[in-house]
Structure 1
Amino acid sequence: MANDPLSLDEAGEWAGLWWLPDDPDERIPGILRYDAEEGLSLSLIGAFEDRIMSKPAPGMTVFQEGTRTWKVIHGAAEQREVTLLDCVPTGGKRTMFARVKSPDKQTVIASIAIIGAHLKGEEDAAFSAAEISVEDLGYWAASSVFEGFHGAPDGRLDGTGQISVKPVDAQSVVVDGTEYRLVHTYTLPSLDQRKGETVGRMTDKVSVRVAPSEPLSLSAALKAASLIQDLIALATHCAAGVIWLRLEVAGTESALPDGKSLPPRRADVLYSPAALGKHDAKAVDHRRLFFTCDSLPFEEVLPRWCEAHGRLQAATNMILGLRYAPALFVENNLLTAVGAAEVLHRGLRIDEKPFPKAEFTTMREAMLAQVPDEYRDKFKGAIRNDPTLRDRLHALVERPDREAIAFLVPDVDYWARRTTWARNDLTHEGRTSNHSFEELLAVVEVTTAVVILNLLHELGLPAERQREIVQQHPQLRATSRTAREWLMAPGFDS
């Protein structure tokens, strides 16, 4: 449909006129092209001045090294306003000394395109709301406008059936003045007549609408998209790509003569998210979902996630990084998984100092008194009253459900010791000769699972659901088997 959002996995092009905001009268024709792999490219018939020049004296122009770039380029294409951000010229052809005069050519690469609005920049608060579609969002929402059944009198299928459309109750919540709402955009039944078949068609697209109390900028909208993307990635335990991002332009609402209101003008954002969504790909296997809005209602999980996402973002990013772009070498994944555990422990603000503050101060002063003056500052910096990695790992397993942890990590002490040993060997000696490749893989998987279980616990996932996950989720079941094979001390009685 013409009013459908622009999907990030579909190519497109817009022919129009383009200009720099500080020189709107000089307009250059060109075509903007978007491709999911190649990104945004503007091909101009003409050129913006990209040479860096100075005039040290009247009548003298000096051309300096380098090329000019532009924060913003505006355009008018296909009857829509267009803004291009972070634009860099990458090639072109000038014909000022050619035998036959012809137009210059220039190619400009942009990082972001807003199709439907003119902006001053990323921080221009020009929008009233953002709407985001992410892979598997509909599955996670656990709601649909569709209802269907097969006719089966007396328990036997009779070849009849029905699919009907019924609007669902709205799910929304306000967090710090911003409303988050699950939106179902659906079509009524239609028949598609083809040469060899007839196809009945209905669609239900689920998105999240984010509407703050004050106008928001593109930068804020991108952060909102990341917030929703990370939540779905955590819930599904796999990379969740952004399918589209659409913005509502503030102040563009209008009313018809009969009093009915028209919706605000919308603008589509084309950019490269952390993971690109495919709008027609099959949904994730339901067995791999950690939770849906059935087990954690939308109105409960969104406020908790908004609070936890900022506080625990470093750990979340590191764990999700293992899903979006896992490293080819186990050592990299080891540092990422263990690092996520450490920063998570700090983010949870677990106040576990090895020594009481007063006693530690006394001990440190006594030790420093024995150190020569020239080494005292360095020695003082090495003495810290912080828990060790092993302490942090032990503290993390104390937070989620005990039965879930016992199933996932039967021998907690052995796992914590081997994980600490592996990390220290790698960072201090540059190798992990005391661990086999298989044991390192086990350390990565188990540590990652412990971090994930802590994040789910922080979101309020019930203990019963935590147990179901570690016992039924295919990957966590495999992780538990790996822990029993590689991370249990000889003779340990589980």
Structure 2
Amino acid sequence: MRQCELQRIKGWFYLPEASDEKVPGILSWEPSKGATLELIGGFSPGPDYRENPEGTGCVSHQIVGDVRSGTIFGVSDSGTPLSIWEAQRGNYTAGMSGQVREEFWESGWVCVGVHIGSSRDPDFSKATLVLDELYYLVDDARFCPPQWAKIEGVDSPGELLENGTRLTPYILPVVGGYRAECVHAETDETRYSISTRATRPWASVATEAMPALKLDMMTQKQRRGQVIELHVGADASIRLHEGAVGSAADFTDRMGPVLDLIRLATFSTADVEAISLKTTGDEDVSLLSRIGEPANPVKTHEPAAVVFDFSDVSLDSYLKTWKKLTQGRQADYAWSVIVGHCGYSPEIVEQYVSQVLAAAEGFHTWCLNAGGAELNPRLKALHNMLPAEVGSRLNLDVDKWADWAVWARNHVAHGGSKRQRFIKDSLEILAVAKSVHLVTYLVVLCELGVPDEKICDALKDHPRLSAMVSYCEVVNQIHASRVP
């Protein structure tokens, strides 16, 4: 089941401790909002009554009684088990007697295919993520160049006949099937691997006895004609060391390095199409979660949108650098802010300024373990870490840039600046933030070992990075206005 798509599942739902009290409802999944369970009826008990101190019967301060938060089980109308974890009751409607008519619950994740009591129960052996753009980081070509061929029944191939006929038989070689762990690496606790897949004909005793059946099973007979769809893709798998089992929470906690890799390699969001988990009973189940951003797998891929791939930075090298740069809570926080802004900018300029300046300062302080210094020399030190060719492409007036960046940080984060000057144009403030964000990101690429020429190519051709370079010249042209 794809978590990037809207889902609507009808079924019966119940609390695990009250399995005989099933309630009909609809579970809806919206990628950017999570899960909403709409029940016809509900789990809430009647209100608690107490004697009226005035001696006139019983009173209650509740419309309905309290019900605990947590796991809800369900069974879809097709018989699929559902586990809704960490659910919280929201709105409800009830009659005068306190009987619940409708009840709404919300949750951030749903496990489809099994009943498991908690996201912390160690019932899984592997997690697999399907991510937009992941395939383009792996050098595993599956489609080979077309080859002209002779096919029985086609006379004069390639020739234009008097009646306008021109038949050109060809073969498109495809390396179909599943290639397991073509890229893999390990940390102290986790094994990460990337596998690729491509369309292949179904193989069985029947298809081998009747080869035309293979073609028939691959063909969609649409009204406009027949269609054969071929596709390739990749997925990332996560396992614990030595075959250890873990909970859904254990595996989701370990997805960070993979999501960060996609953000850094594309300077974009980490778009998740689907997440599956393998249970200890060897069942494949789906996880609907708000991890990453919703994918758009059919959107056209832009070749220049990939900054680096595994031929530039191996998975093993990336994981080692990731671990080194995220040691400690402060470093992990600074890293998360930097990576989280790849492909994303807050709508409010002042918020963006505050976040990217904090990320730059935190990255230099905690991730690079640089000594104590004020923000101005830290920014200059970050810029000085860039290769000469990269720095020349940015063409920043470094002294002016660092000076205005400090002013912008003080202006938005410290309630104003003591220095009696002001930037009137909000575009110039945005340019300061964009250039700081760009320099910090480029330093991260250097720490990962991305080749200088790849960085320069990205600054020239990447659809988002090339646009950010232009902000450097805006910073160079800033002229201050005195505060009256």
TM-score range, shorter chain: 0.7 to 0.9
Whichever residue aligns with residue 127 of structure 1, its letter is F
1:167-213 alpha-carbon deviations (Å, 9 max, x no partner): 55722112213211112233315222222122111222311000112
1:310, CA displacement in angstroms?
5.6
| Among candidates 240, 243, 246, match of residue 212 of structure 1 | 240
Give % identity: 22
Distance in 2, Cα, partners of 1:130 & 1:398? 40
Gaps of 5+ in 2: 151-158, 160-166, 202-217, 480-484
Distance in 2, Cα, partners of 1:41 & 1:22? 21
Distance in 2, Cα, partners of 1:327 & 1:417? 23
1:113, CA displacement in angstroms?
0.9
| Among candidates 458, 463, 487, match of residue 476 of structure 2 | 487
What does residue 457 of structure 1 align with? 446
Distance in 2, Cα, partners of 1:84 & 1:420? 47
Q: 1:46 to 1:425 in 2, by over 3 A?
A: closer
Distance in 2, Cα, partners of 1:51 & 1:185? 54
* Bigger shift: residues 137-146 or 103-112: 103-112
Q: TM-score, normalised by structure 1?
A: 0.77
1:390, CA displacement in angstroms?
0.4
Distance in 1, Cα, partners of 2:84 & 2:21? 16
What does residue 319 of structure 2 align with? 302
Distance in 2, Cα, partners of 1:319 & 1:129? 29
Q: 1:426 to 1:79 in 2, by over 3 A?
A: closer
Q: 1:149 to 1:183 in 2, by over 3 A?
A: same
2:3–2:273 contact (8 Å) kept in structure 1? yes
1:227-270 alpha-carbon deviations (Å, 9 max, x no partner): 322220121111222111111112x1xxxxxxxxxxx1022111
Q: 1:398 to 1:182 in 2, by over 3 A?
A: same
Distance in 2, Cα, partners of 1:300 & 1:212? 19
Q: 1:48 to 1:449 in 2, by over 3 A?
A: same
SS at match of 1:79: coil
1:42–1:108 contact (8 Å) kept in structure 2? yes
What does residue 225 of structure 1 align with? 255
1:315-349 alpha-carbon deviations (Å, 9 max, x no partner): 34323444455222322221122111011112224
SS at match of 1:72: strand
| Among candidates 159, 162, 173, match of residue 172 of structure 2 | 162
What does residue 195 of structure 2 align with? 183
Whichever residue aligns with residue 164 of structure 1, its letter is V
Number of residue pairs aligned between Structure 1 and Structure 2: 433
What does residue 76 of structure 1 align with? 75
What does residue 131 of structure 1 align with? 128
What does residue 243 of structure 1 align with? 273
Q: Where does structure 1 differ by over 6 angstroms across 4 or more consecutive aligned residues?
A: 54-57
1:60, CA displacement in angstroms?
7.9
What does residue 261 of structure 1 align with? none
1:289-332 alpha-carbon deviations (Å, 9 max, x no partner): 21112222234323433443565432343234444552223222
1:410–1:488 contact (8 Å) kept in structure 2? no
Distance in 1, Cα, partners of 2:408 & 2:288? 43
Asked if 1:412 is matched to 2:411, the reply is no
Backbone CA RMSD of aligned residues: 3.4
Gaps of 5+ in 1: 1-5, 253-263, 353-385
1:36, CA displacement in angstroms?
3.3
Distance in 1, Cα, partners of 2:452 & 2:147? 36
1:408–1:479 contact (8 Å) kept in structure 2? no
Asked if 1:193 is matched to 2:221, the reply is yes
2:120–2:247 contact (8 Å) kept in structure 1? yes
Q: 1:211 to 1:144 in 2, by over 3 A?
A: farther
Q: 1:472 to 1:43 in 2, by over 3 A?
A: closer
2:325–2:368 contact (8 Å) kept in structure 1? no
> Which aligned pairs between 1:89-488 and structure 2 lie closer than 5 A?
89-94=89-94, 104-149=101-146, 151=148, 160-166=170-176, 168=179, 170-189=182-201, 190-213=218-241, 214-250=244-280, 252=281, 264-283=282-301, 285-309=302-326, 312-323=331-342, 325-352=344-371, 386-430=372-416, 433-434=422-423, 436-487=425-476
2:38–2:103 contact (8 Å) kept in structure 1? yes
What does residue 85 of structure 2 align with? 85
2:13–2:22 contact (8 Å) kept in structure 1? yes
1:461, CA displacement in angstroms?
1.6
Distance in 1, Cα, partners of 2:414 & 2:12? 58
SS at match of 2:255: helix
